[in-house]
Structure 1
């Protein structure tokens, strides 16, 4: 999602206009350096036409309701619902046109994945990376419910989240923190639980960014360059990057947002293989596909490729009053370049989703403005002249969501090191607290647009994935509420006049920030290009200075992702390290809940922390040296990112994926494995037959349905309407040059058959039960994690360990036990067969090993499928 800030800074340049309907490539920029050739072996084959929605039984009722409406709509009404009204042409960051005859209002779309952006009286929840670090499915769901309730309360129809792309392939990637971690299963579970929670309230979730958006720089196309091409082989796409999207679709997500970049040299918003073939056919997606803001690069091309809604509706240059769709989509229907059947499916998907989530039943209209914090203002700020009135009603939607926000932030707190039991702190400990990250923004709360600065405690990254803080409990405030003797030095330069005794404990706060590319913070254009993986504001020096002066140092880290610690982690004085991730508005309270021992830490790392950035493969570095042409970013590391890579390269990270200590200790015992559904064939059973889809009259409608002369309302300048002057002059051609590969016979994917794929993939194959006992002296929660090791008999190079399941226990008292059940599906034991185009598993699970422990580096239990479990 992008903002007006990009325009104001002059960073958003006009998008490329496609002169051809062919969606498989963006034309090279005129009179500029020719783009690089696509990488050999990476291409995006054509897949046409778009599969129609409505064949999944769970959506049948919603599609029937949609059919009754869409079959009676005019061309103008249909086009209205597919096209945004334009930048700043309504209260939300984006809104479609409406169909008032049928009670369908302008559909309001609003950021962000962590709460309502650019609003008031809302909660600023911890972002995805923090939520992932909880490894707590119940909290993931509860946070989703709370976000959905706030969206509904503000009148937001589509809340733009969760984010599961970027996956975190590049550790410096600017928006990794919006997702749940650098593992497809952790991302998948976090995304699916969030979707279920959000949509339980009636708000439509938008799963994003589909797909391969793994760095911020050069993601967008303009008149002088093209967004980079993420070149991904088919197996890597399925086993890593597509996995969380498949689970999101299986969770019933209502909408999917495309990424700005290309995949295999075809722009995501008009990539027919990805949208038609993978998302709508193989994964059985029943909702609607939208662009990211100004990620719409062509009209006919994108419609044929499977796009259903363009946001915010504008064409090459925002606020010029033109669009690739809107009146141009009306023209394309009348001249036959876009089949009426495609438009009918586009609109039906949108309306069916609206019905599926019950938004026809007393769903509120927007009561806020994303454009101003004033009570009154113009209704259409993008227009030169606009009617005005009350635009902000200041509806308080926070309820008791601060409790959930605090719980998420608290359960994410990850203890990496704790020597001599220095933590938890005692209330009468002599504390001296250092670092600006312990305090507030000296310029005031929310003084930086979209959190685009690193001042004070880091509660979230920057960009459209943020929300205004309704309040902020800083660590300084929370510590002061508990410790009456703590002294605070809210500075990143170690004071020369500080005295230290043997009883003093120095608590040093450091951070590392990143965000979206339209804002540059301290030389970092979204991605951490300048800062690298080091702490910001000379944080390493601050820790070392404290360690030289004090004999007891506790380091608290707020960070968007992996951060290097080698300069100080082994210093004798550094007794404890706590990663608090990005905590949101309850930053201080959630931290002191753990620091002072009211709760034991129970967070686990959602990524690995390396010893050196050179420990990663070169291919996951940020590309920052080619501003013209199309950058070819080839994923040569394939399946080997994060811990998968470290295991293959025999590199021991400083702290492995899944690592997290507690104030107590846990024992795993009594592991057992049980077969539930036999895997009696290498490939799943034949996919179910598709249900029926709506059947419309697909004749080209009368031109009068989009004629300006038939309207009787006052036009708003720059507002995007579906109408045309003199549409009667447009005639259809019987020989329109559709793209190569276009046909009218829909090929079905053998891997499809339901939401997320063939339902047989998601049947439980085996369960593992393990008893978790708190054998320490304090209360705490454990997170048993299950990793699969697939056999070499599959004949493919496969990561040695892959996370497939986890559960978090309840809070266990000393001596208390809980038996945890970890379910493994057929898909969990499968690899993607690129030749057969289906998921292949070892017959009867032969040779599969399931490893259980408390991190990828601590797996004491192995269960052999079909046999038994043992300790290693």
Structure 2
């Protein structure tokens, strides 16, 4: 189904207007697009809007009921990791934890469960999944809410998260569009106790990016999200190339609505809307009544500063997901008070535990220290092993001044908050396991115990061990040290390491020959202060794992689950190894780092990381059959450098066609069953001006001990294309492509080449 007639070709030069770009109206009625499974919703939306007065259309686009078509405004909330501020809901893993599983189907199942709980509490839209920030800098405070620092991985995860939410019957609202890479100076709004977001010169920072950088490093995952069925997109608070993101016609009308053929509505982030007509004409579709009301928009219609076609399009777009998801035929559950006994948790705790254990990366395992086998005694160190003093969740202002969380950290801040009904800490889970195994436990979970004076005691006091980190560490056979790193919305990170935590780890390690470190972090956490210590025998590393966090960690520590997670960011040796810090000026130059985010920067500058993107060990071993093979080639497609398919949601249809397939075999050569994430990296011909290598495929394959399995990487046209600024197209380069297969971005086992002539 095509809405209408006229718009057939993208602008060839993007230099026709005074802004430096050609323009598109972005109107659905002007686009020649095959709407696919949106077609019926479009027809219903057009018919419904045709019956409305302009006043009712204004009510519709500003979040008010429209009785004549039985429309009630959407109810939405943040919370890709679960609902905020409710009783009887589940605290799910953060999105970054789900990305660390590298398991698309598990990601989909997790977000489907989140969507079910939203629907059960009367919500019709989630402000998520979150894809921006993409990861320009590791100090960005909201990377914990996102889906990894590689656009291909993030795009696949974004699509599956979108599908999961959509199949739960509610609207996925992808955010933040676009170039929203830090919290510092993000908005002119003062955010309570957080002065860091008060902007310079009373304007939000501007992300200044060239067209190639915008497309290849930041826009890429939104193609996947739109293709998967995003019903809404949230435009960001920041400015893009000098103009607020929610008032940038090139970004919304040209790129999102025309190039990607997004059929839903654009809604602003908090304080993202600045003017009535600037936002409406730029392509924003849902706005605040303070800007959009009969007093502002009816005169604009009369004097021509807002067209009737644009108002109609705004109304149609607002109704598209309403009809597409069948919300017009459903009886939505009421939105209950926060403490009302409306239990929507089902058996989601089992899913949370499974997802949590699948999200834990094994970084180090000297002499197969892990899994644990009934250790006679265990020392538990660090406040991250126990609950906070108030809980299970708190947003106290004092906590928000910390870079670490004073208890077991299972969610982040701001939009990353969830509402756990309970919390399983590592101490809880270890206590349960110790009761089963007869293990002696000792714990030192508060304060800097290494400097507290003591007197050794015996007899009725129960132990002769000195009550210090050193004393307790020397008294047990196995030491478990738990640390975390915290951040969240409204805050960027001030450190990538923590001196008190690192000191605690070293103190324990100097006195315990079997020290195991467990880390839950909101982003990259540097380890070089202690990682090479010979007594540190194992390290587990993950994001924030939700209410079953303690159980998930113990499942991996004791081998009930064989770790299979891989890193979604690079862990550097030093802060200076990363490309850029937080931008502290009003204008932020994104062209200086270009498309070289995370591992692509390390590769380009030949910097050796501590642990590379995609790294992760297992309790078993895997062998790759190399070199890989090219098992399928679509020669006719590769002969055509520019896509020629019709426009569909997600761009031109043939961008999604498989044009090549790479295969290899993997054998589990160890004595345990386990899963391996096989990864495909591509080196492009010189013409494309691309990073040294970039991820273009992955597959998580479970193999029993001794089993051999086939791994296939299907490559779409877009996976082998670069953005040609002159032609304004994704173009297949001419020349030699090299396809690398391996276990990480640096552990590459073999390659094969193909020449595109």
Query: How much has 1:47 moved relative to structure 2?
Result: 2.4
Mark the CA change 1:775 to 1:363 in structure 2 (over 3 Å): closer, same or farther: farther
CA–CA separation in structure 2 for the residues paired with 1:280 and 1:325: 24
Residue of structure 1 aligned with 2:747, choices 858, 863, 868: 858
Match of 2:204 among 224, 227, 247: 227
Give TM-score scaled by structure 1 length: 0.78
Deviation at 1:500, TM superposition (A): 4.4
Q: For 1:416 and 1:546, how far apart are their aligned partners in 2? A: 19
More helix by share: 2
Match of 1:801? 693
- RMSD across aligned C-alpha pairs, in angstroms? 2.0
Aligned partner of 1:659 among 606, 610, 615: 615
Structure 2 SS opposite 1:130: helix
1:267 equivalent to 2:267? Answer no
The Cα of 1:499 is off from its aligned counterpart by 4.0
Equivalent in the alignment of 1:789:
683
Distance 2:680 2:707 in 1: 22
State which of 436, 442, 445 in structure 2 corresponds to 1:490.
445
How far off is 1:826 after superposition?
A: 1.2
Distance of 2:568 and 2:381 partners within structure 1: 27
State the match for 1:385 in structure 2: none
Q: Deviation at 1:564?
A: 1.0
The residue aligned with 2:349 is 402
- Structure 1: tracts of 5 or more residues without a match: 1-41, 84-95, 315-321, 375-392, 518-525, 689-752, 868-872
Structure 2, gaps ≥5 residues long: 1-17, 190-198, 453-465
Structure-to-structure mapping, 1:430-449, within 5 angstroms: 430-448=377-395
- Residue 9 of structure 1: aligned partner: none
Q: How many residues align?
A: 698
Cα 1:117–1:445 shift into 2, 3 Å: same
Q: Give the C-alpha shift of residue 106 in structure 1.
A: 2.0
The CA distance in 1 between the partners of 2:79 and 2:680, in whole Å, is 31
Check if 1:459 corresponds to 2:410.
yes
1:126 match: 93
Look up the match of 2:179.
212
Matched, 1:355 2:313: no
Q: Who is 1:558 aligned against?
A: 520
Partner of 1:528: 493
Instruction: Decide whether aligned partners of structure 1 residues 616 and 500 sit closer, same or farther in structure 2, where only a CA change above 3 A counts.
Output: closer
2: CA distance between counterparts of 1:569 and 1:261? 38
1:283 aligns with: 260
Provide the C-alpha distance between the structure 2 equivalents of 1:403 and 1:542, rounded to a whole number of angstroms.
33
Please give the secondary structure, in 1, of the residue aligned with 2:440: coil
Q: Does residue 1:303 correspond to 2:254, yes or no?
A: no
- Using a 3 Å threshold, how does the CA distance of structure 1 residues 446 and 685 change in structure 2: closer, same or farther? closer
Change (3 A) 1:823 1:582: same
Question: Which of 674, 694, 699 is equivalent to 2:631?
Answer: 674
Q: Is residue 508 from structure 1 mapped to residue 463 from structure 2 by the alignment?
A: no
2: CA distance, partners of 1:187 / 1:366: 34
Pairing 1:534-613 to 2, within 5 Å after superposition: 534-535=497-498, 538-613=500-575
- CA distance in 2 between counterparts of 1:331 and 1:361 reads 35
Cα drift, residue 449 of structure 1: 5.2
* Counterparts of 1:212 and 1:674, CA distance in 2: 38
Aligned to 2:419: 468
Deviates more, 1:46-55 or 1:239-248: 46-55
Greater alpha carbon shift after TM alignment, 172-181 vs 572-581? 572-581
Q: Secondary structure at the match of 2:390?
A: coil
SS at the partner of 2:739? strand
8 A contact 2:27–2:310 mirrored in 1:
no
Deviation per CA, 1:748-800, whole angstroms, max 9, x where unpaired?
xxxxx2221111111111112222211101121100001111122x1x43101
> Which of 762, 767, 771 is matched with 2:656 structurally?
762
1:31 alignment partner in structure 2: none
3-state SS of paired residue (2:695): strand
- Does 2:581 align with 1:621? yes
> How many Å apart are 1:687 and its aligned residue?
3.8
* 1:91 aligned partner: none
Distance between the aligned counterparts of 1:549 and 1:434, measured in 2? Answer: 13
Structural mapping, 1:708-787, within 5 Å: 753-787=647-681
> Structure 1 residue aligned with 2:736, among 847, 851, 855?
847
Task: Report how far residue 684 of structure 1 moved.
Answer: 2.5
Aligned residue number for residue 66 of structure 1: 45
2:64 alignment counterpart: 97
Whether 1:184 aligns to 2:151 is yes
Aligned mates of 1:762, 1:491 — CA distance in 2: 53
Cα distance in 1 for residues equivalent to 2:713 and 2:544:
28
* Whole-Å separation in 2 of the counterparts to 1:174 and 1:276: 29
Query: More deviation in 552-561 or 457-466?
Result: 457-466
In structure 1, distance between residues paired with 2:61 and 2:265: 10
Whole-angstrom CA distance in 2 between matches of 1:429 and 1:146: 39
